[in-house]
Chains A and B, each alone.
Chain A
Amino acid sequence: MTKYLIWIFLPALMGNAHAQQTLKDSTGKALSDTVPRGTPKNLKLVTVSAGAFEASDKAKGASLTPMDAVTVAGSNGDLTQSLRSLPGVQQIGETEGLFVRGGTSDETKQFIDGTLFKYPNYPSVPGIPQGARINPFLFKGILFSSGGYSALYGQAMSSALILESVDLPEKSSASFYLFPANQGAGLQHLGKDNRSSFGLGLNYSNQTLYNALVPHVPDYFQGPSYLEGNANYRVKTGRSGMFKVYAVWNKSAVGMYNQDVDSAALRSGYLVKGGNIYTNMSYRTMLGKDWKMETGLAYSNNKDKRTVSLVDAAEKPATLPEVPPTLKNNTSDIRSNFAQTRVVFTRFLAGEQAVRIGAEHFYTKDAGVYRDSAVAQTDQLSAVFAESDIYLTSGLAARVGLRLEHTSLLAKWSLSPRASLAWRLSDESQLNFAYGLFYQEPQNEFLYRNRDLSLSRAAHYVVNYTRRAHNRFLRVEAYYKQYQDLIRLLPPDVKSVSTGNGYAKGLELFYRDKKTFKNLDYWITYTYLDTRRDYLNYPMSLRPPFAAPHTMTIAVKKFFPDLSTGVNVSYALAAGRPYYNIRYSDGWQLADQGTTKPYSIVNLHISHLMTLFPRWKHKDFSGFAVGVNNLLGTKQVFGYNYSYDGQHKMAVSLPANRTFFVGFFMSLGIDRTDDFLNNNL
Chain B
Amino acid sequence: MKKTILFFMLLLACAVSAMAQTLDEAVHKLDNAASVKDYEALEKTFTALSAQQPDSWLPWYYAAYCNAKIGFLYQDDGDKIEPYSVKGEEQIGRAQALLDSAKQRQELSEVLTVASMVNRTKVFINPMTYGRKYGMLSEKYLQQALQLQPENPRALFVRAWVKYYTPKMWGGDKPLAKELAEKSLGLLAKDKSGTAPHWGKVENEALLAKFR
Contact = CB atoms under 8 A, between A and B. Distances in A.
A611 B96 CA distance: 39
Contact of A25 (B127, B136, B144): B136
Interface in A195-249: none
A60 B133 contact: no
Given A23-B139, A61-B78, A611 B128 contact: no
Contacts of B80: 61, 427, 469
Interface in A18-48: 18-27, 30-31, 34-35, 39-42, 44
Contact of B126 (A65, A427, A610, A677): A65
A564 B169 contact: yes
Contacts of B165: 20
A424 to B, nearest CB: 13
A178 interface: no
A312 B131 CA distance: 60
Contact of A681 (B126, B129, B147, B168): B147
Secondary structure of the B side of the interface? helix
A17 interface: yes
A26 B168 CA distance: 20
B167 A17 contact: yes
Interface in A408-431: 427-428
B156 interface: no
B79 A428 contact: yes
Given A27-B136, A40-B86, A42-B87, A22 B166 contact: yes
B125 A60 contact: yes
Nearest to A12: B128
B182 interface: no
B79 A19 contact: no
B82 interface: yes
Secondary structure of the A side of the interface? loop
A680 interface: yes
A23 B76 contact: no
Contacts of A16: 128
A471 B76 contact: yes
Given A20-B127, A22-B166, A561-B168, A681 B143 contact: yes
Nearest to A621: B169
A61 B139 contact: no
Contacts of B78: 60-62, 471
Contacts of B131: 15, 18-21, 23
Contacts of A471: 76-79
B169 A34 contact: no
A21 B170 contact: yes
Given A21-B135, A24-B171, A61 B125 contact: yes
Nearest to B81: A60
Nearest to A559: B167
A44 B83 contact: yes
Given A22-B170, A23-B135, A39 B125 contact: no
A515 B168 contact: no
B89 interface: yes
B169 to A, nearest CB: 5
Contacts, number: 128
Interface centre among A21, A31, A515, A611 (most CB of B within 10 A): A21
Contacts of A611: 169
A515 B76 contact: yes
Nearest to B168: A562
A23 B136 contact: yes
A338 to B, nearest CB: 33
Interface centre among B76, B89, B147 (most CB of A within 10 A): B76
A495 interface: no
B147 A19 contact: no
A30 B137 contact: yes
A615 B82 CA distance: 38
B79 A27 contact: no
Interface string B64-88: 0000000000001111111100110
B115 to A, nearest CB: 11
A60 B126 contact: yes
Contacts of A62: 78-79
Nearest to A29: B133
Given A26-B136, A562-B168, A18 B127 contact: yes
A617 interface: no
A468 interface: yes
Contacts of B133: 27, 30, 170
B140 interface: yes
B129 A59 contact: yes
Given A24-B171, A58-B129, A562-B167, A470 B77 contact: yes
Interface string A589-624: 000000000000000000001110000000000000
B197 interface: no
A298 interface: no
Given A35-B86, A39-B82, A42-B87, A15 B128 contact: yes
B52 to A, nearest CB: 22
A260 interface: no
A61 B86 contact: no
Nearest to A26: B136
A57 interface: yes
Contacts of A26: 136
A677 B140 CA distance: 8
Interface centre among B128, B166, B167, B170 (most CB of A within 10 A): B128
Contacts of A562: 167-168
A40 B77 contact: no
Interface in B109-141: 123, 125-129, 131-133, 135-137, 139-140
Nearest to A14: B132
Given A17-B167, A17-B169, A21-B135, A65 B129 contact: yes
Contacts of A65: 126, 128-129
A67 interface: yes
5 contacts: A19-B127, A27-B136, A468-B79, A564-B167, A564-B169
Interface of B: 76-83, 86-87, 89-90, 123, 125-129, 131-133, 135-137, 139-140, 143-144, 147, 162, 165-172
Given A22-B162, A41-B83, A62-B78, 11 more contacts: A19-B167, A22-B171, A30-B137, A31-B137, A35-B90, A42-B83, A60-B79, A60-B82, A470-B76, A610-B169, A681-B143
- Identify the 4 closest CB pairs spanning chains A and B, nearest first: A61-B78, A561-B167, A19-B127, A23-B136
